[in-house]
Every structure is written in structure tokens, then in C-alpha cells.
Structure 1
């Protein structure tokens, strides 16, 4: 087993990061990538001014979870036209490319930025983000360690925290995320994002009160941030406050529709028995991804590298399983990480390919990520394969982590676990003659 060490720069503190034996993934967007200037000039006339405008455009995109980075890209391009050797402009392009999930291009731009300034911390952070999405944990560790060595701040701490959580180091992950919050950032969204992440970590461990505390503060810092509102919805759902959770998710969607909030609304409508609203919500999630993949005459057409979110959602709601499987396979090929393998496993399970599902799920769980949903998926797959012992173990683990980890799946886990009654082994009987000879 590979067990690297993360050293927190300037503190003398070393943290072990236990790593398993297969792949990695990032269920959430990467942590904040840079510290853009607070203001930008009205009429940029220099490379530096264009860079500051690009940074501001990227921060605006983060504030509302928008996925259009054209304005920022144009600003960085104009900066490079004025000064091709501007390291911060090259870094900005790396930020844009990573945000567009073009991690190869992002790494290339980050390396170009380092050619100008080898001490650009954010260049290493961005390369680490790409490595994590591509399932290269060892590479990510090296990049994040370099970033921490150069400057231990909100960006580097939060990335280290996410890395630790994915590799099963939940306690240390929370410590590092708190360090990120304490370090602070130039925008309220920066620390609010970290608080939402820390709240999610607490919730995964079943610590609902601790999660609530973080979200209360995050809402004061960024009351209209869709990611914070979605985290609030998740916490309220864990408390079975269905109306409150629906309201929070609706507010999140009103600011900016995201997959997580839209998918959560579909689940909550099913739980509350509003079937028509649930069906409409399912259709809205599919429409949200309409630019990526389509079904025409029963044939799956995938545009791009595959969409693990769409694949998992379709499988979860028994919609277009063939398309879901195509999406899941394409996502694993492009981004071989935890989220992709989990999605593929669930698609294979719903397709009835249980052995293939278990194989993919083993890759998803290899890093021991403390996510109850992963254990639920594996437990259901094992139950379908007749592996009662494995199913009981993994379903129990899911419920131990958080007995209310999902509004639909937590009750399913309880029901399935109750049905997996272990039949006791028959007591061995001695032959009659041998029994007679016994004292």
C-alpha cells in the first residue's frame, strides 16, 4: 500500500495520506484555484489589467457556479497578445481550461506559467486538480505538496483536505479544511465554499449538528451561493425536513441550476409522494445535460468524454439504461476516478451485469473514501450476486457512516439489510456409533 505524507508548510506538521490500490475521483468541483484581484479596470490597456479582468470574470463564474468562461478566456488571450510572457495570464488560461475539464490543456498552460515563474503556487495546484480528475493520486499529491511548500493558504489547504477525504483520511481532511477556512480568502465565496465542503464531510460522518454550524456561517458569508444553498438542502434532508430541503434546493436552482440541486429535488419529490413533480424534475435533469448527450430512435449518442453525473442519475431512476451505460463507460475512459467508476458500476448493476458492476465498484472503493453511497452501491451489487456476508457488511457500513445518507437509498439500505438474514450453519451430527462411544 502506498502511504504518502503531506507536509503542511511552515508548521512542521506531517499528515499521512493512506492510499489504496486503484482509482480516484472527485464528486465535487475542485477547490478554489486562484486569488483574483478584487477590482478590475473599466478599460484594460495593459496585460496586467487584462489579467485582473480575467481573474474577476472567473471569480464571478465561481460565485454563481456558471460554466461559461468565454469572457475570462478572452481577457487572458488579450493579455497574452500584449505580453506573451505574462505568467499570470498563462496561469489564467490554465484555470479556464481546467474549469472546462480540458485537463491536458490546463496542465500545458500551467507548465508554461512555471517557465516564467517556478514559484507560481497556483500552477501546481491546478496540475494537482487535473491529476485527481484523471485518477492520478500520486501525481496530485506531489503537486499539492509543492503548492503547500510554496504557500500554505486557503487554496492549498482546501486541496489537501479534499485529497485526504478521498483517500479515507476523514479526520485529517476536516482539520485541513478548517485550516483553509482560518486562512481566509479575498472573496466571501472562498471561505463559504470551504465551509460547505467541511459541512459535507461532517454530514458524511453523520455529524449533522457540526454540519449545520458550518452552513449557518457560510450562509451569512454568501447567502446566495448555490453550492452553499445545496449543502443546506442536503443537511435538511438528512433531518427529514423535506419542505425545508426542497426550499433550499429551489433557492439554489433559482440562482444557478446545477446537477446536484436538480437531482436532489427529483429524489425529494419522490420521497414526499409528489410523483408529477418528481417526473418533471427527472426530465429537467436530463434536459440540463441535453447539450452533452441525446437519445435518437433508441440509439445513444454521446458528445464529449462521457458524463458520469448523467450516467448515475439515469441508472438511479431507471431511465435510458443503455445511454447511461455508454456515458459511464466513456466517463471512465476519459476520467478514471471514483465518481466515474461508481457511476459505471451502478449502470452495470441496473443493466443486470452484476459481475461487471462489482469489478467497477471495487475500483471506485479502492481508496476507502468515506462516502455512504459507495458502500450502499457495493452492498446492493453484492446482494444481487448472492454475497450475503459482503452485502451485510457494506450496507451496514453505509448506515454506520450516516443512517440518513440519502432520502431514497438510506431506507432501501435498511430494508435490504433486514432481508439478508443469515441462515445458521447446521450443527454437525456425530454418527450414531461414535455418539454411543462418547463419554
Structure 2
């Protein structure tokens, strides 16, 4: 995946020229050197463990446990790097483990569900999660995984039933993030924030919590604050995350979007380019282009937009909604995006899917249909500002 995106970006040489992406060195956060040493140590241990289990599996390909351990490490690495090849390798490890041991191999089903979820293959992930939950119906974390996938598919009554039964146990680290996501989607963003704060504090109290997991909580809270316009809170959270993992591309991209919202365009470009140097994300390309345009550099902005268009032609995995939203926001390839989201809704009828459909119809000038889709997006009571802003624009259109 990274090779595909790199090829796409190299097709736009102006971005990579003087003052562009390749010419920039990532800007470390304050205190970054010590933090990078700690993070680097954890990554080296993880990569050494991956190499170790690959050697063991080569010597004994008929085992099951080592394959699960290898897959879990690959899945952990993929979450940090965005490398889809690691997701595919984690899936392959899970399937090989299940082929080697069909019974009493719950960990392989859990790994398979996680790898498929990471690839946005939600229907298949649901099948794996159902198999996992059926092996122990009383296991709350397994039910939470299934509930998360039901949310992604837009099966809200099923998700409601699952999470309602988990309410007494929501203040446990294994459940809290998924339960918070359910609260957020069902119109309770304040409760979601409080639960995430509890989980973040619990992670800090547990000395065994990896640094990148602690940083993830800051990212999650920072993005939530950013979406709801609490910019000072977003900055505090995202800067806290970057103090832990200064080179995390998710945090750098989110911090770039925050700088753009604060009209600090040069910081938005600098942080966005730092993120792109680590992971070539089309939505971040669009954000940096917006910052360039707002700062008066329309020529460079256009190069970023062209790079965004090229990069979105590369994905070999699942449907990437943030990428298509970026295309719509910049009036690029609207008919193609409309066709893609229409197909996606055949299996994934959630609020974000209907919002994307509404926005694509609006950009296509099909206002009555856009209004009907926007109503479907709002029907389940979400407080998501993006969905409501789109609905307001569509309602005001003539």
C-alpha cells in the first residue's frame, strides 16, 4: 500500500520539489528526543519479536499459537504505521492458525476479526466476531468487538442491544473505548468523553501500558474535541500525545488539522508534511493543500490536490471514506465517489455512509435526493458536527 501511495505522490513532482514534502524535515515536538528514544526501544523490541516468531514458524509451520502471536504483533505495528501489508499478513496468520487448529483457538478468531476490521472488511469481520462471541457468550470484550462492528455496518438496534447489556461493565479498560464510540454515535458525546478520560487515566496508572496506547487515548480525545470545536482542549490533548510519540503520523495529521482550524497555516503545512513523510494519507494531502491555499499559495495547493487525487486511486483494501470526503470537498471525481458510496451502502448503512451519500448527491446538484439521504444520516440521533453541517448546507440549497 505504501508503495502504491508513494508512486502516486511521485506523479506530482512540484509537491516534492523545493519547499515541498521531500525538502522538509519532520518537526519534533518539545522533548521529542527522549520520547523518541523510548518509543524507538519499544518498536525495536516489537520488530525483533516479529522476526523471532517468523523464524519459529518457518521451523514449525504446523503450529497455531506462534502464528497468533506473530499476527498480533503485525496488527499492532499496522495500527501505528498504516501499512496495509501488515494487516494482510496478520489476517493470513490468523487464517493459517485456524487451519492448523480448528478448535480451541479463540485467539485466532479474535486476531482475524481485528485484521478484517482494520481493512474495513466489515461484513467478514462480523462473521469472525460472531464466531468468537459464540465460543464464550458471557465474555464482555468479545461482545464489545461485535458491537463495534455492528456500529460500523449501521446495525444500530443490534449494537444498542449489545452495548446496553455491557453498561454495568463499561468502566473496564477492555470495554471503555468501544463503549465510548457507541455513546458518541448515539448522541452522547459528553458521556463518551468522560468515559475515554477514565480509560486514559487507567492506562496511565498501569505501568504495563505501551506508550503508543497511551498516546492513542490522547489522539482519540483530541480528535473528539477538534470535531466539536473545542480547539484549546484539542491542542492540549494532541500535544500530550505528541510528547509521548513525537513521530506518530495520526497525531501529526490531527495537529495539522487543528492548526488549519486556528488559521495557523504555516504550522498546518509543517505538521502536515511531517505526517506525510511518515504515511502518505490523501486526507492529509487535502488538508495541507487547504492550508497552502488559505495562505495564498494556490499553485502549491493545486499540487497537493492533484497528489490527493492520484493517491486515492491506489487503495487495494476497503472503502476509505475520509479520502472520498476529501475528494467531494474539493469537487474532484464526484460521479466516481457517488457510485462508490452507493455501492458501499449496499452492505454498510450507517450514519456516516448516508452523510457521504447526501454530500455526493449535493455536489451532483441532486438536492431533493440529498435531503432524503441527510435525513437518514440524522435519524439515529448522532451529534456529529460534520453530519449536521452537511445537512444544514443541503437544507439551505435551492
- Equivalent in 103, 116, 137 of residue 97 of structure 1: 116
Per the alignment, residue 200 of structure 2 pairs with 181
Q: How does 1:202-217 map to 2 (within 5 A)?
A: 202-217=225-240
1:229/1:108 CA distance change after superposition, 3 Å: same
Say yes or no: does 1:196 pair with 2:227: no
Per the alignment, residue 261 of structure 1 pairs with 284
For 1:373 and 1:204, the matched residues in 2 are separated by: 8
- CA contact 2:309–2:332 (8 Å) conserved in 1: no
Per the alignment, residue 7 of structure 2 pairs with none
For 1:160 and 1:61, the matched residues in 2 are separated by: 23
- Equivalent in 86, 92, 96 of residue 74 of structure 1: 92
TM-score relative to the length of structure 1: 0.70
Kindly provide the CA deviation profile for residues 122-156 of structure 1, in whole angstroms up to 9, marking residues without a partner as x: 43232122211111122223334556666743342
Unpaired segments of 5 or more residues in structure 2?
1-44
- CA contact 1:310–1:327 (8 Å) conserved in 2: no
Kindly provide the CA deviation profile for residues 283-303 of structure 1, in whole angstroms up to 9, marking residues without a partner as x: 2222222145xxxxxxxxxx9
Say yes or no: does 1:165 pair with 2:184: yes
Give the structure with the higher percent helix: 2
Q: How does 1:46-125 map to 2 (within 5 A)?
A: 46-68=63-85, 69-85=87-103, 86-125=105-144
Kindly provide the CA deviation profile for residues 54-94 of structure 1, in whole angstroms up to 9, marking residues without a partner as x: 10110000011222212212322332243222110121111
For 2:129 and 2:311, the matched residues in 1 are separated by: 31
**Aligned-partner SS, 1:333:** coil
TM-score relative to the length of structure 2: 0.77
Q: How does 1:335-350 map to 2 (within 5 A)?
A: 335-350=348-363
Say yes or no: does 1:367 pair with 2:385: no
1:376/1:56 CA distance change after superposition, 3 Å: same
Q: How does 1:14-413 map to 2 (within 5 A)?
A: 39=49, 41-42=52-53, 43-44=56-57, 45=60, 46-68=63-85, 69-85=87-103, 86-145=105-164, 152-184=171-203, 186-291=209-314, 308-385=321-398
For 2:165 and 2:278, the matched residues in 1 are separated by: 36
CA positional deviation for 1:373: 2.7
* Structure of larger gyration radius: 1
For 2:182 and 2:222, the matched residues in 1 are separated by: 16
For 2:80 and 2:190, the matched residues in 1 are separated by: 28
CA positional deviation for 1:306: 5.8
For 1:360 and 1:304, the matched residues in 2 are separated by: 26
Per the alignment, residue 16 of structure 1 pairs with none
State which drifts further: 72-81 or 348-357: 72-81
CA positional deviation for 1:244: 0.8
For 2:192 and 2:275, the matched residues in 1 are separated by: 26
Greater relative CO, 1 or 2 (CA 8 Å, sep 6+) = 2
For 2:385 and 2:323, the matched residues in 1 are separated by: 20
- CA contact 1:134–1:336 (8 Å) conserved in 2: yes
State which drifts further: 242-251 or 316-325: 316-325
For 1:52 and 1:148, the matched residues in 2 are separated by: 31
1:72/1:354 CA distance change after superposition, 3 Å: same
C-alpha RMSD over aligned residues: 2.6
1:77/1:321 CA distance change after superposition, 3 Å: closer
For 2:161 and 2:216, the matched residues in 1 are separated by: 24
1:75/1:327 CA distance change after superposition, 3 Å: closer
1:209/1:313 CA distance change after superposition, 3 Å: closer
For 1:47 and 1:120, the matched residues in 2 are separated by: 22
Kindly provide the CA deviation profile for residues 204-229 of structure 1, in whole angstroms up to 9, marking residues without a partner as x: 33322221111121112222221111
State which drifts further: 139-148 or 316-325: 139-148
**Aligned-partner SS, 1:237:** helix
State which drifts further: 342-351 or 376-385: 376-385
What is the total number of aligned residue pairs between the two structures? 339
For 1:244 and 1:171, the matched residues in 2 are separated by: 29
CA positional deviation for 1:168: 1.9
- CA contact 1:308–1:331 (8 Å) conserved in 2: no
- CA contact 1:128–1:144 (8 Å) conserved in 2: yes
